[in-house]
Structure 1
C-alpha cells in the first residue's frame, strides 16, 4: 500500500512538472510560430494602455490580423503599432533607436548658435558627454544678453539628457506633467541638484552651477523637431524669457514606454500618455501628438528637412532665416 502511494505521488509530481514546462513563460525563448505570443502581448498592451489615435481603425486592424496571431516579424509589428499611434514603433533591439550626436556651436556672422541635436543612447558615458557639452556651451555665453538654441531637425531621443544640459536656463519646479491613458498624472520635476521623472523614476544629477540670470532665449524649431526635443522645449518655456522662432514642430508630443518582447532582443515603443505644459504655449497646454506653435513663425524655413541628420555634423541654417533671426534680435534689443 505504501509502495502504491509512493508511485501515485511520483506520477502526480511528474505530471505537475510536465505542465510547468508546457505553460508559457515570460522568460522563455520562443521560436517559430510560438514567437507570436510576444507580439500578441504587445498588441494587447497597446489596446489596453496605449493612446490609440483612431480606435475604430485599430479594432478593425486587430480583427483583420486574427487578433494579431498572423504577425510573423518585428517589421509587421512595427507597421501595426505605427497605425495605432504615429509615435509607436517596434525594433530589433533597443540599440536600433541609438543615434549619438553631440552639441556644437556654430557662428553665423555676429550670431553664435548652440546646436542641440538628436540624441538617444543607453551608454552612460555618451549621455554624460552630451549633457556636459551642452552645459559648457551655454556657460560660455552666460555674459551675453541672449542665447540661441537650434533644435531644427532634432528628432528627439533622450529628454533627460537634453533637459539636464539645459538646466541652467530652466527654473526649478514641475516642468510638465505626463497623463497616462488611465488618467494617472506623473510630474517631471527639477530642483537645484537633479531632475526627476515620477513615471519612470529616473533621476539625473545636474551640474553644480547657478541658474543664469535672465538672458533672452531664442529656440529654433522646424517640422522635424520632434519627441524628446519637443519635451525639452516645453521645459524651456517655463523660463518667461524663452521665445520659439521658426516653423511648427513635428507633433510627437506624447509619452512612450519601452517594452521588451519575450524573445530575441526585440523591443516595442508604446505610446502610453499625453503631456501637459505648466505654461501656455501657442494658446494650449495639453498636447497629444500636436505640434508646438512658434511665438514667431518665420517666412523662411530654418533648415532643410529633406535629409536625416544622424551624424556629428550640425544642421546648417538657411541664410534667409538667419537674416530674419538677426532682425528679430535687433528689434528686441
Structure 2
C-alpha cells in the first residue's frame, strides 16, 4: 500500500527561507521557461550580444559542456516540467560524440557527465544516464597515476599537472563505486584527494591552482602559473572548488581530514570576502586596482558553504550558512539578469586574471559555470540538487531513522550490516540506494521517484471468457480525490450490474490504495472488523468497514461522498477471486477482506506476500503547493504487520508478516501475459475451468 504524506520537518540547508531567495527562484523559473525553448539543442557557454552561441559546434570536449544539462535537470527536479528533461536528453545525445570520440577527453569528464548522465540516472533511473556516467568514470580512472597517487588533469605535454578543480570531478568516481560495488573507484578518488590535500592547501587556507609532479617518481616539481594573478597567489574560483570539493569528499567518505580542509579554506574565503562586502575578486592576492571580479567564485563557494553548514555542529553552522546567504544575496542583487529576453543569468564571471579577452567577454554575461549557483540561490525554496552532490535529499535520511525506530525489521543482522555500511544511510547516493537499504529491513519497504510513479491509472474493466463474466480489479495508486472516487464508482457499478456468479481478477494487481478497492467492492464484503494492524510495540488497531467507509489504520477513508456511491450488500452470490504471485499489498488486503464472505473462494497461485501496511513520506517542492504530481522523492516505510481476522487457514485466524495468501484452489499454470482487454493479464483457461466446476455446484 502506498500513502503519500506531506513532509513538513525535513532538515534544511538554511534555517529559514529568505524572501529574496523565493523571489529570485520565481524569476528564474519564469526566465528559463522562455529561454530553454529558444536555446534548443545548442550547448551554451558565453552569450554574444545576449544570445548563446553553440560551443559544442566549436569544441565538443569543452569542460563546461555538461553544465547546461545539469541546469536543465535542476529545473526538472523542482518543477516536473518534461520540457527540461527532453532538453537535457538532447544535450546528452550531443555529448555522446565526445564520450565516444575519446581523444579530447580530460579530467573534466566528471564535470560533464555528472550533469549530463548521472543527474539523469538519479532523477529518472535512466539506464542510458547510468551507462554514460560509468563510461566517464572509467575514463577518469584511466588517468590515475599510481606512483604519484593523482589523476592527471590535462592532456598534451602535462602528465604531472593536477589542478584544484579536480576535487569536483572525483565525485563521479565515488558514485561509480556506489552503483557498481567496485571499491577501486573510491580508492582512486581518496588517493587523489589525499595528494591534493597534501600539496594544494596551504596552512592559512589559501590554495594553489596548479601543482606539477614528476609523473615517473611522483615527486613535487613546482607550482606553474594558473588562472590567478600569480603562482603563489589565491585564485578565488580555485578556493571555491576546494571548499566544495573537500566537503563533498567528506560527505562520501566520512574522513574528518577532508572536513577540516573544507573548513580551513572556507574560513580563509569568508575572511577575505568580508573585506570587499562579498564582491569577490578574481584573486584574493592581487593588486587592489584595477578591480576584477569573478561571480562564479562566489556562486561555487556558496554551494560549498551551504553543504559545509550541514556537516558541522550547530554552533559552527551559522558561520557558513550566513556567509553563503550573504554571497548569494549580493549575486542576485548586483549581478543577476532575470530578463527572459536575454540568454544567461549571472553576470560577471571571469576565466583568467591575465586575459583581457576573457575578462571582457565574461563581464557581458556569466559563463554557464555559474549556473551551479541556481540551486543555492533558491536554497531553501527547494532542496539543493546539484549533480556534483549526487546524493538523495537529506530529508530522506529521516526515513532510514524512522525505519530503524519503528519499522518492522525482518532480518536484523542484515539490516544492521547495511546500516553500518552506509553510515546510517548518510552515504546513500540515489533513490535506488535508499530503496535497497529499506528493502534490507523489510521487503515491503522501498523508495521511488515521482518520475517513475506518475502514470495513467487503469480503471476496473469487465469482459467475458469461457462463458464467465470477469471483472479486472487493477492496481490503483492515485491520491487525487476525483480519480479515486471514479475508481470506486466504476467498480461498484460493474458489480451491481451482474446477475449470477462472476469472477474478480486480481492477477497482476501490485497494490496501491486498499480503501479504493475495498470500498469499490463494498457490496461483497460484510461490514465489521476486517483485520487488525499490529505495530512493532505489539499494539493493535482494528480496521472496520461500514456504510460510512473504512475506519482504522493507514487504510482509513471516511466521507459522505462514499455513502452516495457504494451499493447494497450482495453476500449470497458466488464470487471467484483469482490471484497470482504478482498480487500484492493492497490487493492482498482486499482479498483478505473478501474472505469474510462465505461465498467467496480464491483460485490461482499464492499471492506475492506483501501482507504488511506501510506509511509513506513525500518530499515536495514548496513551490508546488504540495501537489503530488511534482513530488521529488517518495519514500515508503513498513510500519505494521497485519493480522487477518477472517478464516484463512485451519487455525481460524492467520497472522501475516509478509507471508503470502494461499488460494483455496491451487492452479499451478500461470496466467498469460498479453491481453487485448486491459494491461492486466486475463484469467488462464485452466483457472476458469476450475471456477466453472465450483459455480456448477449447488
TM tier, smaller: 0.7 to 0.9
Q: Which moved more, 1:132-141 or 1:117-126?
A: 117-126
1:146-161 → structure 2 map (5 Å cutoff): 146-161=501-516
Alignment of 1:120 onto 2:489? no
Larger radius of gyration: 2
The residue that corresponds to 1:285 in the other structure is: 654
Gaps of 5+ in 2: 1-314, 323-378, 622-630
Superposed CA deviations along residues 96-135 of structure 1, whole A, max 9, x for unmatched, are 2656111111111321111111111112222111111110
Cα distance in structure 2, aligned partners of 1:286 and 1:26:
45
**TM-score, normalised via structure 1 length:** 0.83
SS in 2 for 1:238: coil
Cα distance in structure 2, aligned partners of 1:20 and 1:173:
58
SS in 1 for 2:453: helix
SS in 2 for 1:186: strand
Higher strand share: 1
Cα distance in structure 1, aligned partners of 2:316 and 2:607:
57
Alignment of 1:325 onto 2:682? no
Superposed CA deviations along residues 184-208 of structure 1, whole A, max 9, x for unmatched, are 2222211123222344654252425
Query: Of 593, 601, 610, which residue of structure 2 is paired with 1:252?
Result: 610
- The answer to whether the 8 A contact 1:177-1:187 is kept is yes
Cα distance in structure 1, aligned partners of 2:620 and 2:480:
23
**TM-score, normalised via structure 2 length:** 0.41
The residue that corresponds to 1:169 in the other structure is: 524
SS in 2 for 1:100: coil
The residue that corresponds to 1:214 in the other structure is: 572
Higher helix share: 2
The residue that corresponds to 1:73 in the other structure is: 430
- The answer to whether the 8 A contact 1:186-1:199 is kept is no
1:37 Cα shift? 3.2
- The answer to whether the 8 A contact 2:392-2:428 is kept is no
SS in 2 for 1:281: coil
Gaps of 5+ in 1: 1-14
SS in 2 for 1:272: strand
Cα distance in structure 2, aligned partners of 1:180 and 1:233:
21
CA gap of 1:167–1:94, structure 2 versus 1, over 3 A, is farther
Give the alignment's Cα RMSD to 1 decimal: 2.9
Cα distance in structure 2, aligned partners of 1:66 and 1:113:
50
CA gap of 1:194–1:287, structure 2 versus 1, over 3 A, is same
- The answer to whether the 8 A contact 1:274-1:288 is kept is yes
CA gap of 1:43–1:27, structure 2 versus 1, over 3 A, is farther
- The answer to whether the 8 A contact 1:26-1:262 is kept is no
SS in 1 for 2:646: strand
Number of residue equivalences: 310
1:1-333 → structure 2 map (5 Å cutoff): 18=318, 29-31=383-385, 37-93=394-450, 96=453, 100-141=457-498, 143-144=499-500, 146-199=501-554, 202-203=557-558, 205-206=562-563, 207-261=565-619, 265-283=632-650, 284-301=653-670, 303-304=671-672, 312-330=678-696, 332-333=697-698
CA gap of 1:198–1:249, structure 2 versus 1, over 3 A, is closer
Cα distance in structure 2, aligned partners of 1:211 and 1:249:
27
SS in 1 for 2:679: coil
**Which of 1 and 2 has higher RCO (CA within 8 Å, sep 6+)?**
1
CA gap of 1:321–1:123, structure 2 versus 1, over 3 A, is same
Cα distance in structure 1, aligned partners of 2:454 and 2:656:
24
1:329 Cα shift? 2.0
SS in 2 for 1:294: coil
- The answer to whether the 8 A contact 1:42-1:261 is kept is no
